[in-house]
Structure 1
């Protein structure tokens, strides 16, 4: 028997527990943690925007502030969407566990374990990237002071600190470490939530791919079982094909339920992500061409990498779902169906007719998650960046 939570979602559970988003055991203390963490994120965003109160609003200032704020808004949107859909997340866990419990064939169990292990590998890679980027982000604000302490020189106020926290609100020199703690808390909560939620949703979709692969395996198994025209064998083949169609329908319903639960928030996330990527590409170009501060250049580069990875992984997962669904019908087409009886051939024909309609994770009938959409979003970001950069020259 496969225990989904302990075998395939142990990394995810750690991340989600850290930010209070694990959908089980929601005590009053966890609910307080949710409110506190979300309040920290929102208040930090508001602090970023207060710079427009006293400072003169120029295009450069707007781009400079929004390039940071939009990433924080993405953190808040993702955190809140998962918090609001805790029941849907539990339901997805239960559906997945129920489907795994129904698997009796050793090969089918091996398939779902293979895809579960692949999901764990993706989670491990994301954890490694998360640790590396977090360490760099944490060192940026304190690096000048560390160098000043080691080299015994007067350290200037870090420009990254000035950009992340407006100086006129609080005296940064007097309350440096308090502000630093507040900034670290907001960034760490948002980044941990984004990685934990991303790993969970990606793992859900990888398990859905495993279900599609099991459907293909059952079709292959049904046809290879055919040896003669005896009624008993024919009935067994009917059952095997019915089992294949059953798990295929479950995979589609599972994927659609996941899409339906998070469709609004992820449409907004993709839109904000494209704008954020555009602004950070502009900030990178400006700092690189005008010999800007290295710390700010590195900060905007890291943000661009985060957005780029988010857009790529989301669309890659959607492309995987489409490809695995198509492979089910490809299997039905390539197996030796012509050796089966006429009744079995008719069943295969129904499958092939259904395969004429491509299944994809479609948002509102407008766009579908795919590598094609990722290329389009990247191209759009580069186009917007080019227009903004040319207008500012």
Structure 2
């Protein structure tokens, strides 16, 4: 696929602040996503060697954790509650692999979109749509920081739950000895847990942190693409609403040239959005299915630990994070859908009546294309949005009642 040269500018302006393609990924809009994805080997511009090295390290860590969890599952196969505790992390790992493989499979397309993002910063005139692209990029920056902070705080809360209990009991009842346990079931075979407890705790905690950071890094790339799509569509809408009037005394038809550039921008925005949809088509499908099962299992864990406040808090935090993960992905998709839908209304609100006859003939063509808005879908059958979020929650509640009845 041929990449667009990032130093080409459409006639009509550009942003000096973002025009240097070499520095764009160090801009505050993107630097957090660049750092996190680079550290986890998910940044598309990294070399193949770094990608492979990061993948080997990541899956070696997660693989060792999975072996210990599967061993615990086999040893405790007769205990339904322990089985749930073992199965939930394994489902998360399947979701992780789905996201990771999806990003690796589409990394060339991601590079293509990142190159187009450099180019798109020069599409809008500085005072007629570019500020909207800045606004949505600013929102994306804040959104990514809040998302990753929530993930890391939830991980800290989860992995420290056994130590919190040990510390509290040690302070209140110094003569009581608690069994040494972890935040999730593990079976280490011949390793003496009593002797190596804190070393094992550090290793498993690092593995859990790695697991969740990989998932977060995959989502950061999706947030970048989605919010850039929103900025393009909203900026285009602003530019159309401020269509310059036709000046009969002018030698050229400025409004026609202006609308022609808007149509080109619209075509590029649609192409960009469709590529984003194609990249995350099956990733979204996996997120819906895995989150639905996880929320059902976590609901059972909450019900069965109502008398244990420490475990209850841990599982409630888990439930909140699972709901948040699905919520943010549905919210991002909803924002793209809304931006695409609203463009139709924006075109009708333009001052087309002050434009030339040639320009007015372009309006129906653009309006016709806007009748089919771009939406992000899961598996080509489920439209991602807040309606889907509500349906998934209801379905998860139904599975929850089934799991409770199975006990």
Q: TM-score, normalised by structure 2?
A: 0.86
For residues 311-348 of structure 1, the C-alpha deviation after alignment (integer angstroms, 9 at most, x for no partner) is: 11111111111111122110111223234344333321
Q: Are 1:4 and 2:24 matched, yes or no?
A: yes
Which residue pairs with 1:304 in the alignment?
A: 319
Offset at residue 210 of structure 1 (A): 0.5
Q: Shift in Å at residue 5 of structure 1?
A: 0.9
The answer on whether the counterparts of 2:382 and 2:388 sit within 8 Å (CA) in structure 1 is yes
User: Given that residues 66 and 276 in structure 1 are in contact (C-alpha distance below 8 angstroms), is that contact kept between their aligned partners in structure 2?
Assistant: no
Q: TM-score, normalised by structure 1?
A: 0.89
Among 234, 253, 262, the alignment partner of 1:244 is: 262
> Do 2:151 and 2:321's aligned partners in 1 also have CA atoms closer than 8 Å?
no
- Report the equivalent of 1:378: 393
Q: SS of 1:164's equivalent? A: coil
Deviation track 1:39-88 (CA, whole Å, cap 9, x = no partner) reads: 21133123212234333445444333222322233233323433443333
Q: How many residues align?
A: 385
Unmatched runs of 5 consecutive residues or more in structure 1: none
1:174-219 per-residue CA deviation (whole Å, 9 max, x = no partner) reads: 2212321221121111111222222221122111101001211221
Counterpart for residue 357 of structure 1: 372
Partner of 1:156: 178
For structure 2, list consecutive stretches of 5 or more residues without a partner in the other structure: 1-15
Report whether the alignment pairs 1:67 with 2:88.
yes
Q: Residue in 2 aligned with 1:180?
A: 201
Question: C-alpha displacement at 1:232, in angstroms?
Answer: 4.4
**Distance in 1 between residues matched to 2:380 and 2:40, nearest whole Å:** 33
Matched, 1:217 2:232: no
Distance 1:263 1:155, change over 3 A: farther
Structural mapping, 1:166-315, within 5 Å: 166=187, 170-222=191-243, 225-229=244-248, 232=251, 235-288=253-306, 291=307, 293-315=308-330
Match of 1:41 in 2: 62
Do the aligned residues in 2 keep the contact of 1:38 with 1:79 (CA within 8 Å)? no
What is residue 13 of structure 2 aligned with on the other side?
none
Residue 362 of structure 2: SS of its match in structure 1?
A: helix
Greater helix percent: which structure?
Answer: 1
Corresponding residue for 1:338? 353
CA distance in 2, matches of 1:300, 1:324: 36
- Do the aligned residues in 2 keep the contact of 1:63 with 1:279 (CA within 8 Å)? yes
Task: State how far apart, in whole Å, the 2-side matches of 1:363 and 1:231 are.
Answer: 50
1:319 matched to 2:329: no
- Report the CA distance between 1:361 and its aligned residue: 1.0
User: What is the rounded CA distance, in whole Å, between the counterparts of 1:169 and 1:270 in structure 2?
Assistant: 39
User: Secondary structure of 2:245's match?
Assistant: coil
Query: What displacement does 1:167 show?
Result: 6.1
Residue deviations 1:108-147 (CA, integer Å, cap 9, x gap): 3322211111111112212332342232123213223333
Note the aligned Cα RMSD (angstroms).
2.5
Structure 1 equivalent of residue 7 of structure 2: none
Q: Which moved more, 1:248-257 or 1:317-326?
A: 248-257
In structure 1, how many angstroms separate the alpha carbons of the residues matched to 2:260 and 2:383? 29
Whole-angstrom distance in 1 between the partners of 2:81 and 2:159: 25
